[in-house]
Structure 1
Amino acid sequence: MDTHLCDELLEEIFRRLSPPSSAAVSLVSKRCRRLLRSSTTSLSLNFPPPYNPSTIKSLSTFLSHHPYLSSISLTGGGDPLLLAVTDSCPNLRHLRHPGDPVSPFALYTLSASCVHLSSISVSLSRPLSFHWLPCFNSLKRLSLSFTGPSIEDNNLEIEENRDASDLELNLESLSLRGISAGDSALSFLWRNCRNVKNLQLKSCDSVGDYPSFSKFLKFWNNLEEVELRTSRSIVDLVLLKLAADCLSLQSLLVHDGGNKEGLLHFINHTKSSFKRLDLRLPLDLENAHLIALSQNPNFKNLKILRLESCCLVTGEGLKAAVGEAMEELALINCDVVEREAGLLAALGQKLGNLRGLDLSHNEMMADKDLVSMVVSCGGLEEVRLRGCGRLSDAAVIAMVRSCRNLERVDVSRCGGIGGEGVEALVVKAAAFRRVAVEESKLTPLAKTAAARKCVEIVDTL
């Protein structure tokens, strides 16, 4: 093969290899090693300290052997590693560099060398500065984590950015982690990110500068998706502004920290037409919220409803919330599934258009409950049952019979499901493409059928 195939064909073969196989290619010959490197477009590297000059030089040399690298994830020190990437990866489009914060100088240097960057994820230390951001002309996705002690007033940064308030950054996705009350420099982002469609706030105690944030939500009305994770102190404020000013919102996620009254007010008063709602609120979601969903016409076309660890809802609320338009339903670790007999059957009768179902981590869910639902949902394409320990092979076999379009199933950590059930999925499901399951549960027939039908097997252990 090494002598009879042209470089282009070998590179295409190497691109299609799985990571364990591709790692062995470099041992075949020097030519194969060179072609493997030239065909590699994505790398994930971990560099522990110390970061001495020889380490950085070695990294630069290694990266220079990958001329078509477009995506890189670096775990390790801040500026030294980032500058090594700057010197060696001119075609880079996606950069993820968690861990130690990087300096504005390093980001300026990066913008000058990697002009095609469209996605950046880095950490910044306080005091915050964003005057480097306009230098990235191709940037669409930005993810920032803020570290260091909170600084009550950052007037210097406000003065630096006052003249740049009429910029129009091209960002479409903005993710911010760890905003504190003193981060007034964020006014630069809120003033200039007019095209943001996806906003994520994680572990935030504040929005930094409230007037600028309020204007961001009111006047730059392109926002379609909002995610609030572990940010209890700002949830009420954000939901209040979204309900009052945002008309374009289609998707809302609130995890691990909510406000009962604020969420109810939002559901009752939002003017946006929703397609997706994702809530993980163990003690902040009640039936009143789900019933309100059914009463607001802006939720009548809800396509995706995901609830996780929601302990206070009952079947009454769930049956009110789901509608015929729904295509995906997730009830993850929701004890109402086990607590109310016949609930899944009742939901299944209302969900004839369902394509995705996630009932993961309902450990006591019985076979009859799952089967009673899927017999009414024949169009299911994906089912996730991870951690449902009481389910048996009989439930999986019944699901295969009822769901002719089944493509993807997760039955990992399901102690009652064994080789017979997995074999039925791989062999008998005509459209099947992917299964997540322990390798020990694959029978010889299942392995043979998976290879013949190109079924992807994900070993979860």
Structure 2
Amino acid sequence: MEIDTILGDELLEEVFRRLHPHSSFSFSTADVSLVSKRWLRLYRSSISRLDLCLSPDNCTSPSLSSFLSHFPHLSFLYIVIIPTVSAFPDQILHSISSSCTKLTTLLIYHAPVSVSPLLSLSNSCPHLTYLSISLSTSVSFHWLRFFRSLQTLSVSFRFVPGESKHVDDDADAELKLENLTLFYIRRGGYGFDWLWRSCKNLKKLQLVRCEGVGDDTSVSSFVNCFKGLQEVELRTCGVVVHNILSKVLENCTSLNSLLIHNMVSSDGLLLQFITHSSCSLQKLDLRLPRVLENNHLSAMADRFRGLLSLRLHMCYLVSGEGLRTMALAMTNELQELALTDCKVEPGLLTILGQRFRNLRKLDLSYNGMLVDDEFIALLASCNCLRELRVRGCEGLTNASVISMFKSCKQLERVDIMECPGIEVEAIELFVLNCAGLRMINVEEDKLSIVSRSWALKKLVEVLDWL
């Protein structure tokens, strides 16, 4: 009896759903279509996520609608549009609205959309909780009131020369948004006043490469979203970081996570925030190569005693002695530590290992001074590690890899890319002996046939990127 007649529809769909996208056994729609039309139909029906790259040359609105209709259980849709033709993104959005009524996540990149198709989307996809789009800077946010289930919104703004200024005079709304990410807000941008007044349930705010938070009216209403704010991320936002950080200091008492990358200068504001903040931070992530100094580290260790996660990147003004002083002053409750491209001088790792025995995640990437002896001593103390990254640590050799699986029995995720001293044989031993391994980042040419075979048997995800 043929397998096609033995397997029922529900069982075959379950088989398709369980196939890991990175597994060697994964296959494409073309592969399935070679079996039978039934397999193709059931395979498409089992798919909940779809990634597409579209252009006017390879797609029309009717053809996309017809194609998407074959995926009735689609909940996650990621689309990259190339090139950015003005009307094409709106046509794509209309096609999605007519065919994907069960969507919960939609990401559309590289082309701004208009309000009309967004309104259509809000009616057709009532379960949408995550939306990532691009908008013209002249488009207001009033359409958000029609997305009743939306919890996460990411918007990248595209400036269009000659566009008119938006006048915002609508009454406030009670948006359910909990996570908001905004890219490329221009200085004095219009239309944000209504957004800040309506985001009363925000828990996480991310600003990326923003010159401001809106015009004068928007700036005054910006603090309206601070009441329950728990996480703030400011990535490459230049001088506007000073204004935002001062407002967080004055108005936000519920903050437990702060990320600041590439602050131009602090003029004492960062130290003032650390020493006077009423927040009980648990996570702190800083990449401030020209700002962060030893006195900041001492203040952090003294003020934020409840830290569970500390990530420091490119601390060029911080000395090894400063890092040592900070480690000794902190409590031993830290669960995540990252010192990437920092001055990890001899003796520091021994102190870290003795001080932070509860570490679950450790990132020491791009530390040229890291060598086997100290790293092995650190691992002997940190036997609770589940994630370990040593990318770009050129001083490590095979001995360090062997120590990883001998000392850290709970390791699940490891990144050992760009480590020339680590060879094929060590990778093979690691994959064989690391019982809990779930993911490894390593160059493809360092994976032997044995390593690949064992990774496949143990369902280990192997990556050669990121």
The TM-score range, normalised by the shorter chain, is over 0.9
- State the match for 2:439 in structure 1: 434
Amino acid at match of 2:205: L
Amino acid at match of 1:265: Q
Q: 1:241 aligns with which of 247, 272, 295?
A: 247
Pair 1:45-2:81 in alignment: no
Q: Per the alignment, do residues 415 and 60 of structure 1 end up closer, same or farther by CA in structure 2, a change over 3 Å counting?
A: same
Q: Does the 8 A contact of 1:152 with 1:183 survive in 2? A: no
Aligned length: 449
Q: Does the 8 A contact of 2:134 with 2:158 survive in 1? A: yes
Amino acid at match of 1:111: S
Q: Does the 8 A contact of 1:244 with 1:269 survive in 2? A: no
Shift of 1:103: 0.6
- State the match for 1:130 in structure 2: 141
Shift of 1:258: 4.0
Q: 2:275 aligns with which of 264, 268, 279?
A: 268
Amino acid at match of 2:119: Y
Q: Deviations over 1:271-304 (max 9, x none)?
A: 11011111111112111211110221xx101011
Shift of 1:438: 2.3
Q: Does the 8 A contact of 2:188 with 2:213 survive in 1? A: no
Amino acid at match of 2:89: G
Greater alpha carbon shift after TM alignment, 442-451 vs 432-441: 442-451
Q: Deviations over 1:396-423 (max 9, x none)?
A: 1122222222222111221111123212
- State the match for 1:143 in structure 2: 154
Gaps of 5+ in 1: none
Pair 1:193-2:202 in alignment: no
Shift of 1:152: 11
Pair 1:256-2:262 in alignment: yes
SS of the equivalent of 2:168 reads helix
Q: State the alpha-carbon separation in 2 of the partners of residues 448 and 71 from structure 1.
A: 31
SS of the equivalent of 1:201 reads strand
Q: 2:296 aligns with which of 289, 296, 300?
A: 289
TM-score, length of structure 1 as denominator length: 0.92
Q: Per the alignment, do residues 213 and 249 of structure 1 end up closer, same or farther by CA in structure 2, a change over 3 Å counting?
A: farther
Q: Per the alignment, do residues 31 and 149 of structure 1 end up closer, same or farther by CA in structure 2, a change over 3 Å counting?
A: closer
Gaps of 5+ in 2: 82-87
Q: 2:175 aligns with which of 130, 153, 169?
A: 169
Q: State the alpha-carbon separation in 1 of the partners of residues 164 and 421 from structure 2.
A: 58
Q: State the alpha-carbon separation in 2 of the partners of residues 43 and 455 from structure 1.
A: 23
SS of the equivalent of 1:3 reads helix
Q: Per the alignment, do residues 450 and 244 of structure 1 end up closer, same or farther by CA in structure 2, a change over 3 Å counting?
A: same
SS of the equivalent of 1:320 reads helix
Q: State the alpha-carbon separation in 1 of the partners of residues 457 and 79 from structure 2.
A: 37
Q: 1:394 aligns with which of 395, 399, 411?
A: 399
TM-score, length of structure 2 as denominator length: 0.91
Q: 2:75 aligns with which of 70, 76, 81?
A: 70
Pair 1:383-2:394 in alignment: no
Q: 2:333 aligns with which of 322, 325, 330?
A: 325
Q: Does the 8 A contact of 1:26 with 1:36 survive in 2? A: no
Shift of 1:453: 2.9
Amino acid at match of 1:34: R
- State the match for 1:110 in structure 2: 121
SS of the equivalent of 1:397 reads helix
SS of the equivalent of 2:102 reads coil
- State the match for 1:302 in structure 2: 307
Q: Per the alignment, do residues 149 and 58 of structure 1 end up closer, same or farther by CA in structure 2, a change over 3 Å counting?
A: closer
Q: State the alpha-carbon separation in 1 of the partners of residues 123 and 43 from structure 2.
A: 28
Q: State the alpha-carbon separation in 1 of the partners of residues 139 and 450 from structure 2.
A: 59
Greater alpha carbon shift after TM alignment, 268-277 vs 318-327: 318-327
Q: State the alpha-carbon separation in 2 of the partners of residues 73 and 350 from structure 1.
A: 43
Greater alpha carbon shift after TM alignment, 23-32 vs 55-64: 23-32
Amino acid at match of 1:19: P
Greater alpha carbon shift after TM alignment, 88-97 vs 413-422: 413-422
Q: Does the 8 A contact of 2:196 with 2:224 survive in 1? A: no
- State the match for 2:378 in structure 1: 373
Q: State the alpha-carbon separation in 1 of the partners of residues 193 and 410 from structure 2.
A: 49
Shift of 1:455: 2.5
Greater alpha carbon shift after TM alignment, 446-455 vs 224-233: 446-455
Aligned identity (percent) is 46
Shift of 1:369: 2.7
Q: State the alpha-carbon separation in 2 of the partners of residues 363 and 59 from structure 1.
A: 50
Shift of 1:433: 2.4
